Structure 1
Amino acid sequence: MESATAFYSGTEVIQRSISVDDTLTIKAGNVHSVYEISQCLQFINSNEFKKVALQFPDELLGDSGAVIKALEEGTTTKIFVLADTSYGSCCVDEIASQHANADCIIHYGSACLSPTSRLPVLYVFGQQPVDVAHCYDQITKCSQDSEEPVLLMYDVVYAHAIDELERLLHSTHPGVIVSKVNASPSTSSNSYRASDAVKPTALDDEHTSKDLSQDKDNSSSLLSKDNITDSSLSVDNTATNSASSQCHFGRTFTLADNCTIDDYAVFYIGSEGRTLTNLMMTFNKCPFYTYDPRTQIYRRETLNVNRALMKRYYLVEKGKDANVVGIVVGTLGVRDYLAVIAHLKEIIKKAGKKSYTFLVGKLNVAKLANFMEVDVFVLVSCPENSLLDNQEFYKPVLTPFEMELACNRAREWTGDYVTDFRQILPGASKHVPLPADNTPSETDVSLITGNLRTLGTDDDTESSVGDAKAVVARDNMAITTHSSAGEYLAGRSWRGLEQDLGNTPVTKAVEGMKGIAAGYANETDEGTQV
């Protein structure tokens, strides 16, 4: 097995290729139906947009030329394709679109449906093929295998077939709950599904009951006629005696009377990937059955969720041990990302730790390897991109929920897991207020290192400015911690380039080498200058 490395030679970087799965691309004759060209044109022309950005994931870029050609036949609007996304392809890249002064974005392919705030967005999921009759047979098998009632969920690329599937289930399996994919409308701009005649009606999950009481003028546009509430952010969503309508990750469903989602088995239509992992971690008390339309394989997922949760709790312990925390901005499009960054800074500071914010674009091992003075990183990203495999990274990468578990003494580990960082913000149902400022700091033993550690800061903390260290006195015990990454940097043998201002002689500028680093024009094959 090859080991991952954070450093590459120049030749490797230039010659390295990226494998793209082109099995999802379609034939030119199916462009109008699969990419819903008529709905896209109606969205563009009815809103009189002058400049439209098209966003494709890597696996669908092969169809971008045919899509642009089909759109240009029905509109005079200027249309362009985003060459690359700033972060994950499932998120709407509003920043790149704004750089090109786009009026709106049409997002194609799989989407995490995270709420946006800057530009109008049209979601076109792409109608990937699915054998509805065969899928119906597998749901029937699932309802027979499972002792719990069944909740049907699916990848958004199969949303086009759900209405037909629901009609078949209604007559024979009325107990199967079918979720519906919705794009959440935003307050300053609208998000739409191409298959919807009007924007979907659902409670905007940015607004809580407190917000709605302060802004009654917007309440009519945020509440649906079915009284749908977003359970992830409602202030009080405890068990109710009536049917419970919920919205999770852009998917709405109505549970039976006196039931919670933990009482259901989840049947998921789609391939293995981040969407399935996100759902399994969030609904970790539910058994999962999956059906992959591409392979037509039905199976009971045997992933040991408890083991996965324990791995994530190990990261929480690493967060408690950390002295320097790096907040990595993994999105500039998901709404409230600035609010959660501010929230993280507050809880990290009150826990007696130092935090630094990093904006590095798409995350990889090499980028984070440049900051070895940071003990742990916390990634602010959409739910589907926040759960990273930490095996390749030199330092652990936590989610905001895990970092709060490490820093907020009032939050306890219950086994429930939160991947959407907006749920831990004030006003959300998963929010846990910080302890009062006069609460004394706590000292315990690390489960990883066995060393004593303290969580929180005391008013009587004595700081030694000269040696850049902070000594916390508690119960005749002194605990020494790094006060900043500057101390770590001061102890390194190499600290980077030094300007040496005033001591460097001025020299005449001369013509340098031409070409690229892999082979300059004035170099021979052996690498010597000629």
Structure 2
Amino acid sequence: MSSSETSASAFSSSDTAALERQTETEHPVTFEQIWNENHRKKSVDWIRENSYKRVCLQFPDDYLPHSNAISVALKELLSPEEVKVFILADTTYGSCCVDEIAAAHVDADSVIHFGNACRSRASRLPVLYLYPELPLDVGLLLEKLQSLREESKERQVCVYLDIGYQHIHDEQLKKRLTEAMEPKNLLLELFPPIEPDSTASKEPSDLERICIFIGADNQRFANLSLTALAAVQWHIYDGASGSLSSKNPLTAQFIRRRYFHIEKCKDAQTLGLIVATLSAEGYLDVVARLQTMAKGRGIKTQLISVGRINPAKLANFLEIDCFVLIGCPFNNMYDSKEYYKPIVSVFEAEMALNPAWHMRYPEAYVTDFNQLLPEGRSFLPFNAADIPENDVSLVSGRLRGAVNDSLETAGDPASLALATQAKMALMTTDTGLSFEDRTWQGLDPALGQTEPAQLQQGLSGIPINYTHQ
């Protein structure tokens, strides 16, 4: 690859990126599983009851081979004068989010979203979510869960159904699960829930908790296991393979890594706020809140929107010390090992910047940034006056942020001694490279500073043999 091709790839994705992108589901789905009689009836009734005229069908990558057939089938059920149907494919951020921006390009008045969905509150268009209906051997499931009967006794058991198995949710299934495991109390719930924060398992209980996820070891399980209240043990029943396994996501290594990133966020002199959603309600409020908290600590912020992030894109922002990803609940945590600078979630940035979280251990992880806003369950007010005066970095051992100005002006010998103890030097207040200091600044039009060029005849013909050379 030439140097020009290398530099170009750092600023944009390749032409085949959408084709080579790894799909987001664990098991391939068939046409009948994503478009059966239940899906057809639900779609037609929803469109007609609300008198929608321009409907967008949004598909994840692995549903695209079936997208045209579904579109044709829906048009056959609805007359052309009744409704127009459009297909949305390559989404800007993640297929779990409703792409209201793309839908606006065709002046759509509604969206039918297929497959994995974060169910973030859409702010512009009404949305109908259609999940696949995967087969499940309930008899085998009950047989496997009987092995958990001993550890389930005198405990609360929470059983979550992944999107592919939500069609089997009923009271009869709950009764059979209770008979198989004999717990003190059993909760059968959907994930993601129909309504945000509607799950009963988020209510505190005096009983120890066992959690079972009927699905696969996927992003939805990671999100659920991090945000749910503490459980003694997590189990995953893979409906495709019929296997039952145990997994605890909150390991000591995971916690240490996330808290290390929180410390790096505190150490940052410039934060990059990456907007990875334009449809989730409240994202602008979160941006404003992060900017206010960063300003209170003397940290600069830059607002960034680059679509789906990758290491090459973020490497262009040399002056940024840490990135904050503002995304939906399923798209706001990244393992930033491949990135040059750490990436933290909104919740981790909140823990780093808001002094109200100091020495406070959360009951559960927060992936929905709306819960950190004033009406959210995990909201803690920010007060810049509560920021500690002697805040020492646990990574570098230096004093942080706004305290440097008071040290330089007051010249307190005791404080200076504390500051120089780690590396024999005070932390500077330099906020990183400015745009003017970059070695590459792009094209300079120099308007009004150069003579206008003379008009000349351009080349014509084909590149291998122009008509005049």
TM-score by length of 1: 0.74
Work out whether 1:90 is the aligned partner of 2:92: no
Question: What CA deviation, in whole Å up to 9, does each residue of 1:26-64 have, x standing for no partner?
Answer: 14698323x610111011112111100111111111211
Cα displacement (A) at 1:400: 1.0
User: Unpaired runs of 5+ in structure 2?
Assistant: 1-5, 417-425
Instruction: Pick from 393, 400, 403 the counterpart of residue 346 of structure 2.
Output: 400
Deviation at 1:284, TM superposition (A): 6.7
Provide the rounded CA distance (Å) in 2 between the counterparts of 1:168 and 1:389.
39
- Tell me the equivalent position of 1:466: none
For the structure 1 residues 475 and 284, does the alpha-carbon distance in structure 2 shift closer, same or farther, using more than 3 Å as the test?
A: farther
1:522 aligns with 2:459: no
TM-superposed CA distance for 1:382, in Å, is 0.9
- Residues 1:153 and 2:160 aligned together: yes
Structure 2 counterpart of 1:340, one-letter code: V
Is 1:445 aligned to 2:392, yes or no?
yes
Residues 315, 510 of structure 1: alpha-carbon distance in 2 compared, 3 angstrom cutoff: farther
- Paired position in structure 1 for 2:265: 319
RMSD across aligned positions (CA):
3.3
Q: 2:361 aligns with which of 410, 414, 438?
A: 414
Quote the Cα distance in structure 2 between the aligned partners of 1:15 and 1:118: 31
Aligned length: 438
Q: Does 1:65 align with 2:68?
A: yes
Q: Which residue of 1 aligns with 2:29?
A: 25
Deviates more, 1:73-82 or 1:135-144: 135-144
Structure 2: distance between partners of 1:438 and 1:18? 50
Task: Give the superposition deviation at 1:472.
Answer: 6.6
Asked if 2 retains the 8 angstrom alpha-carbon contact of 1:390 and 1:396, the reply is yes
The answer for the alignment partner of 2:284 in structure 1 is 338
| Distance apart, 1:439 and its partner CA | 4.6
2:421 matched residue in structure 1: none
Which of 377, 397, 416 is equivalent to 2:323? 377
Which residue of structure 2 lines up, in the alignment, with residue 368 of structure 1?
314
SS in 2 for 1:357: strand
Contact 1:309 / 1:415 at 8 angstroms: preserved in 2?
no
Q: What are the within-5 Å matches in structure 2 for residues 94-243 of structure 1?
A: 94-146=100-152, 148-163=155-170, 165-172=173-180, 173=182, 175-180=185-190, 230=197
Contact 2:202-2:228 within 8 A present in 1 as well: no
Is 1:454 aligned to residue 401 of structure 2? yes
Instruction: Report the Cα distance in structure 1 between the residues aligned to 2:375 and 2:441, rounded to whole angstroms.
Output: 44
Q: Which amino acid aligns with 1:305?
A: T
Q: What amino acid does structure 1 have at the position aligned with 2:315?
A: A
1:475 corresponds in structure 2 to 412
- 20 and 359 in structure 1: CA distance in 2 versus 1, 3 angstrom threshold: closer
Q: Structure 2 matches for 1:261-340, cutoff 5 A?
A: 263-283=208-228, 285-286=230-231, 287-303=233-249, 305-340=251-286
Would the aligned equivalents of 1:350 and 1:457 in 2 still touch at CA under 8 Å?
A: no
Question: 1:282 offset after TM fit, Å?
Answer: 2.0
Counterpart residue number, 2:420: none
Identity of aligned residues (%): 34
Instruction: Give the 3 Å change call, closer, same or farther, for CA 14–93 of structure 1 in structure 2.
Output: closer
Evaluate the alpha carbon distance shift between residue 457 and residue 60 of structure 1 in structure 2; reply closer, same or farther with a 3 A threshold: farther
* Residue 387 (1) aligns with residue 333 (2): yes
Give the distance between the partners of 2:325 and 2:410, measured in 1 at CA: 32
Q: Give the counterpart letter for 1:177 in structure 2.
A: L
Residues 468-520 of structure 1 show CA distances to partners (whole Å, capped at 9, x for unaligned) of: xxx6756354652124x5x44344433333334444342235566899xxxxx
Q: Secondary structure of the equivalent of 2:320? A: coil
Aligned-pair CA distance for 1:438: 4.4
Aligned CA distance change for structure 1 residues 149 and 371 (closer, same or farther; 3 Å): same
SS in 1 for 2:356: coil
Selected match of 1:432 from 380, 390, 409: 380
**CA 182–396 in structure 1, closer or farther in 2 if over 3 Å, else same:** closer
CA distance in 1, matches of 2:289, 2:10: 39
Deviation at 1:456, TM superposition (A): 6.7
| 3-state DSSP of counterpart to 2:47 | helix
Give the AA of the match of 2:173.
L
Quick check: 1:327–1:358 contact (8 Å CA) kept in 2? yes
1:8–1:490 distance in 2 versus 1, CA, 3 Å: closer
Cα gap change, 1:446 to 1:265, in 2 (>3 Å): same
TM-score (norm. length: structure 2): 0.83
Contact 1:284 1:305 in 2 (8 A): no
Provide the residue aligned with 1:190 in structure 2: none
CA contact (8 A) 2:404 2:427 kept: no
Is this contact kept in 1: 2:275–2:305, CA < 8 A? Answer: yes
